């Protein structure tokens, strides 16, 4: 449970909950809910009671500071049905921290030494606020500061070990994400359904979930829980193999591997260089490619031929309509020639807001010129507004090249 009105207002991004979820998974602890609540005692108490009704343990993050809106301690004490008691040893530690910095402690900081009766303290080592471990019947509430490095220290030092001891089980939860391009989410789900059914029949471990990621495609996440990391990885390897059999070459990467990384790997494995001619994408494809470290080894550059005269005069496209397959092929051939590349890739089309040359918004032509092969043009129809059409065009053009290149070993 993340506490703080600033989180609800969007003034601070809640990265703490994301980190906690990852850390709990690595410890084999199932995390089922995440909640944000503002600095209001009644709402915090209500959210905490709800959390305890549905979970064995709750981690509260934030609201342990010295100001009047830091009321996590009070909320926990209310739920526990106990008073807050000031601990002199904690207060002495806070004063010593201020003295070490050559500063006087404000009296408001004394509130950080208040502890619900029956709770134990996670000693502060990086800040002034201690953490709390608070029993509520047969359940437990942990409270940690919202400052990330203070929270992380207490999670590693106290909370994760305590949770593992309470659970009586040591486990690891690992996930792997297959990144795909080319199928709608519903079609992809239908293709994967046989595996989901088989896993359900065998106990539901690993599990499969889908993550729609807009202009980056559909992600298929596999999560495995095992007694140790090595066993979990074996389970992920086996399930990835099964999914690749079902999905084929729409899988372009794993975890953080982007489309441009996949293209780069295949170009380098084949010993080929690449040149671009971009119209509708306006340099977006080149921008993606140069994000790959070492791109200068295989990427020659891009001619952003937005004006038709650049297509005619620089790339050698025959004068006439430029939103055609013939123009796309000529642009790809021109990119190879002008940039001295082995492979030429081109885009031309209509991103909007109005139709051009009789072509509707979303009409895009790709051109590709491969060594020893006749150049080719592919037409696609892409949805969305101007920006999304350009972004979809960029990843689709790279995917076209990826599918034409042999897989990297």
CATH at 372: 3.90.950.20
Instruction: Say yes or no: 157 and 179 in one domain.
Output: no
The answer to whether residue 313 is domain-embedded is yes
Q: Among candidates 135, 120, 9, 116, which has minimal Cα distance to 71?
A: 116
Q: What is the pLDDT of residue 179?
A: 97
Contact 114, 52 (CB under 8 A): no
Say if residue 156's pLDDT is above 90. yes
Quick one: average pLDDT of 29-50?
Answer: 96
Is 308 a domain residue? yes
Question: Torsion-angle region of residue 10: left (phi > 0), alpha (psi -120 to 50) or beta?
Answer: left
Structure tokens at 264: 């780069």
Predicted TM-score of the model (pTM) = 0.77
Asked which of 20-24, 88-92, 167-171 is least confident by mean pLDDT, the reply is 167-171
pLDDT of 154 higher than 80:
yes
Task: Tell me which residue of 141, 165, 148 sits closest to 60, measured CA to CA.
Answer: 141
Q: In whole numbers, what is the pLDDT of the chain averaged over residues? A: 95
Query: Domain check: are 212 and 107 in the same one?
Result: no
pLDDT at 263: 98
Q: Taking residues 226-234, what's their average pLDDT?
A: 94
The last residue of a domain, from among 222, 254, 286? 254
Same domain, 144 and 182: no
Residue that terminates a domain, selected from 130, 147, 167: 167
**Residue 409 pLDDT:** 82
**In this predicted model, what pLDDT tens digit does every residue of 283-332 receive, in sequence order?**
999 999 999 999 999 999 999 999 999 999 999 999 999 999 999 999 99
Kindly state whether residues 163 and 177 are assigned to the same domain. no
Pick the most confident of 170-179, 201-210, 309-318.
309-318
Nearest to 260 by CA among 284, 279, 278: 284
Residue percentage of the chain with pLDDT more than 90: 87
- Given 219, 254, 289, the domain boundary residue is 254
Tokens 């918004």, residue located: 361
pLDDT, mean of residues 221-226: 94
HEC per residue, 98-110: HHHCCCCCCHHHH
> Inter-axis angle of helices 259-270 and 386-404, to 10 degrees?
30
pLDDT at 408: 85
Distances (CA, A) of 127 to 64, 168, 245: 11, 31, 51
Checking if the pLDDT of 168 tops 90, the result is no
Mean pLDDT confidence for 207-225: 92
- Residues 184, 226 within the same domain: yes
Asked if the model's pLDDT at residue 39 lies above 90, the reply is yes
pLDDT tens, position by position, 120-133: 999 988 888 899 99
The answer to whether the bond into 353 is cis (omega within 30° of 0) is: yes
Q: Are residues 162 and 231 in the same domain?
A: no
Q: What is the pLDDT of residue 213?
A: 86
Q: How many domains does the chain have?
A: 3
Segments in 253-364 forming alpha helices (H): 259-270, 284-289, 308-313, 325-339
Q: What digits encode the pLDDT tens for the residues 55-65? A: 999 999 999 99
Whether 250 and 280 map to the same domain: the answer is no
Helix, strand or coil, per DSSP, at residue 359 = strand
Residue 266 forms part of a structural domain: no
CA distance 401 to 263: 7
Chain centroid to Cα 224, Å, comes to 18
Same domain (yes/no): 387, 238: no
pLDDT band at 145 (very low <50, low <70, confident <90, very high): very high
* Domain with 195 in it: 172-254
Q: What pLDDT is attached to residue 104?
A: 86
Residue 193 reports pLDDT greater than 80:
yes
What pLDDT is recorded for position 336? Answer: 98
**pLDDT confidence band for 170 (50 / 70 / 90):** confident
Q: What percent of the chain has pLDDT over 70?
A: 100
My answer on whether 90 and 112 are in the same domain is yes
User: Which band of pLDDT confidence, cut at 50, 70 and 90, is reported for residue 226?
Assistant: very high
Q: Are residues 161 and 222 in the same domain?
A: no
């Amino acid at each position: 449970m993340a506490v703080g009105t600033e989180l609800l207002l969007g003034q601070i991004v809640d990265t703490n909950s994301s980190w906690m979820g990852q850390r709990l998974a690595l410890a084999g602890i199932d995390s089922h809910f995440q909640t944000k609540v503002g600095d209001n005692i009644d709402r915090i108490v209500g959210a905490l009671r709800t959390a305890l009704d549905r979970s064995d343990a709750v981690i509260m993050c934030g609201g342990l500071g010295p100001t009047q809106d830091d009321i996590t301690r009070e909320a926990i004490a209310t739920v526990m049905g106990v008073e807050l008691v000031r601990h002199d040893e904690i207060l002495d530690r806070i004063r010593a921290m201020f003295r070490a910095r050559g500063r006087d402690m404000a009296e408001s900081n004394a509130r950080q030494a208040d502890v619900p009766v029956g709770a134990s303290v996670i000693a502060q080592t990086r800040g002034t606020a201690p953490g709390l471990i608070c029993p509520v019947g047969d359940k437990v509430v942990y409270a940690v500061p919202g400052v990330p490095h203070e929270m992380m220290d207490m999670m590693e030092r106290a909370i994760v070990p305590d949770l593992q001891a309470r659970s009586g089980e040591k486990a690891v939860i690992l996930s792997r994400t297959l990144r795909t391009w080319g199928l709608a989410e519903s079609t992809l789900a239908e293709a994967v359904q046989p595996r989901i059914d088989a896993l359900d029949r065998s106990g539901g471990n690993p599990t499969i979930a889908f993550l729609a990621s807009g202009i980056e495609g559909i992600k298929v996440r596999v999560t495995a829980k095992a007694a140790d990391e090595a066993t979990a990885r074996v389970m992920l390897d086996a399930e990835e193999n099964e999914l690749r059999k079902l999905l084929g070459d729409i899988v372009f990467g794993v975890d953080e591997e982007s489309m441009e990384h996949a293209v780069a790997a295949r170009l380098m494995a084949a010993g080929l260089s690449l040149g671009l001619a971009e119209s509708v994408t306006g340099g977006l494809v080149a921008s993606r490619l140069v994000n790959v470290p070492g791109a200068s080894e295989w990427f020659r550059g891009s001619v952003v031929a937005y004006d038709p005269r650049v297509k005619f005069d620089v790339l050698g496209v025959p004068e006439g309509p430029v939103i055609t397959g013939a123009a796309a092929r000529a642009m790809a051939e021109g990119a190879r020639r002008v940039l001295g590349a082995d492979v030429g890739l081109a885009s031309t089309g209509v991103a909007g807001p109005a139709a051009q040359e009789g072509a509707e918004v979303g009409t895009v032509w790709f051109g590709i010129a491969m060594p020893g092969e006749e150049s080719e043009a592919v037409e696609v129809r892409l949805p969305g507004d101007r920006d999304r059409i350009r972004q979809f065009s960029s990843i689709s053009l790279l995917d076209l090249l990826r599918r034409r290149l042999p897989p990297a070993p």
